[in-house]
Structure 1
């Protein structure tokens, strides 16, 4: 296998399961494009996954949502032309399958404030009259707590094992939320890439290169994220303005390292001042689960 040695080694499977070419599309088994909490727990406990863990069950679909393209316009009376004053734009709506909901994380202060308005509470989204029903989900909170506890234990145990053997620290970092890895380069130009800038490559052709712990990466195309910030100009009127787009590594990306490594974003401060990159962690981005590496992993 050949690759650009200035980048991580491609992370590929030793064996690949192929669909039977003689099966029709309707007969072929559908594989999940997501991992349930129970399956992620098995990974964190270093248990072997089976084919059943990947297959869709009952009426489950590989993607539990549908994309719907919706146009926004109105026609001028007596014509088939769009009103110039209204303009024309198209948006993509995401329709979750029945029984599925969108989960978000909030800090304890926000949670306490929401509870004063009742449970559930109606939340307004944007200025077009969209609404969302928001309610706390203790069951999901318990599941998330179990995953993060197992991940932290794996991280600490791997660091301890590394002191006894240089190969005992090998880990897989599973990116469970989109990862924003942005740094300023080439005269202050902000640049995003699929893995943290502070993770140096374990293998490089340049003899002067300082070796790190990152061996390999498996990822998909970048996810474009457009945010907004509050801005208060000279007239003291707070406004919401768009921020430059960033391109995040998608959830599901996997990183193979020779030893566990923290993220620069995890640091609250830098040189005695607030670390601006930490805002991404506060917003829930770049969340990783740590899995001790084993040759038995698929």
Structure 2
């Protein structure tokens, strides 16, 4: 597998695929970075041959210094020490140090707090010292080298190990005028889409195995409306300490043979956690008895309405018109977002039995073609660490 950098030549359109009806608000949301299958399909258009064993890992971010940035783990929170200069009720995102959320069952102060026994125990801040207090969270992207240290149990990071989303959002309005009038159509007449523009010096990056991909830069269409991007193969450099070599080692890291306390998994790419048949949450129901806690965010929706089918009918006045017949639907999935963290109970008897399923966060059933596709595209890739 080789690394390829993807430089958009214009804004990119990736619609979040929630059920969308122009008559009910007419505001589509954008999703960025794009899902792995979207970028993979764009790259595959540049290959002239069939692909017997394709593979894909991504999509991540690369800055102008070839530093690789990955989603920040969701269990990291900032801690700050209170001073005389602090204003009452002041909101701040700065922090002095980072710590990790812990299961509430490990804290005496939570012994009398009740929560639903049908779900996992809440993950809460640990006991803090003296005048310390929780002060926001780190920025959403983390250097790959810092993530490697995080997986080894380190929580001491500098602020420059994190960065904000390196892109800007642009809302694009669309207006359809009724034929022969100056009025907007009643249905589907006005809607908006969200476009994304990467900041200067930033690129998308992915690791790909496709036969026939050119070594020289080439152009692909990426996202809605066929906007173009330049794809170029990356060559390893000797001083690549914060870049691709780091992840090359991390993504091959398997589940430790010795299941010691503090074992956790970090979700590198969007995954599917099946809680019931074709129902997805943040963690699989099969993992329920061997998890101490889970920290994540809102799920990523993908799939949904594909197209409309229409047919011609004859009205009473003899005119023909198009009438909506039905919607064609694709399977819709709710993906656990990258950066989700799973803390395991090393003493659970279920852990060893489920160990073979811990490579990827995907449904255990493997008899469907889409499962094999998701597996080859490394959906739900888990990286393992110890606190």
- Does TM, scored on the shorter chain, surpass 0.5? yes
Where does 1:243-258 land on structure 2 (aligned, <5 Å)?
243-258=330-345
3-state SS of paired residue (1:95): strand
Counterpart-to-counterpart distance in 2, 1:43 and 1:267: 20
Paired positions, count: 237
Counterpart-to-counterpart distance in 2, 1:267 and 1:33: 21
Counterpart-to-counterpart distance in 1, 2:177 and 2:368: 52
Do residues 198 (structure 1) and 286 (structure 2) align?
A: yes
Do 2:262 and 2:344's aligned partners in 1 also have CA atoms closer than 8 Å?
yes
Counterpart-to-counterpart distance in 2, 1:103 and 1:114: 15
Do residues 33 (structure 1) and 146 (structure 2) align?
A: no
- What is aligned with 2:198? 96
Deviation, 1:257, is 0.2
Deviation, 1:148, is 1.9
Higher strand share: 2
Counterpart-to-counterpart distance in 1, 2:298 and 2:261: 29
Q: 1:262 to 1:215 in 2, by over 3 A?
A: farther
Q: Which moved more, 1:63-72 or 1:213-222?
A: 63-72
- What is aligned with 2:374? 280
Do 2:360 and 2:381's aligned partners in 1 also have CA atoms closer than 8 Å?
no
Counterpart-to-counterpart distance in 2, 1:180 and 1:136: 30
Choose from 202, 217, 220 the match for 2:297: 220
Choose from 9, 34, 38 the match for 2:121: 9
Unpaired runs of 5+ residues, structure 1, are 20-28, 57-61, 163-167, 202-212, 230-240, 294-298
Counterpart-to-counterpart distance in 2, 1:272 and 1:262: 13
Q: 1:13 to 1:265 in 2, by over 3 A?
A: same
Choose from 270, 273, 282 the match for 1:178: 270
Counterpart-to-counterpart distance in 1, 2:281 and 2:361: 20
Unpaired runs of 5+ residues, structure 2, are 1-109, 237-242, 307-327
User: C-alpha deviations, 1:173-206, integer Å up to 9, x for none?
Assistant: 1112122123654xxxx211111232132xxxxx
Choose from 33, 46, 52 the match for 2:153: 46
Counterpart-to-counterpart distance in 1, 2:146 and 2:174: 41
Deviation, 1:122, is 0.6
Q: 1:88 to 1:30 in 2, by over 3 A?
A: same
Counterpart-to-counterpart distance in 1, 2:385 and 2:273: 21
- What is aligned with 1:113? 212
User: C-alpha deviations, 1:143-183, integer Å up to 9, x for none?
Assistant: 3212224x33xx23xx23x3xxxxx2431111121221236
Deviation, 1:45, is 3.1
3-state SS of paired residue (1:217): strand
Do 1:73 and 1:87's aligned partners in 2 also have CA atoms closer than 8 Å?
yes
Q: 1:218 to 1:92 in 2, by over 3 A?
A: same
Question: Whose relative contact order is higher, 1 or 2, with alpha carbons under 8 Å and at least 6 apart?
Answer: 2
User: C-alpha deviations, 1:99-145, integer Å up to 9, x for none?
Assistant: 11122343x2x2x3222xx5211112367342121222344542321
Do 2:177 and 2:185's aligned partners in 1 also have CA atoms closer than 8 Å?
yes
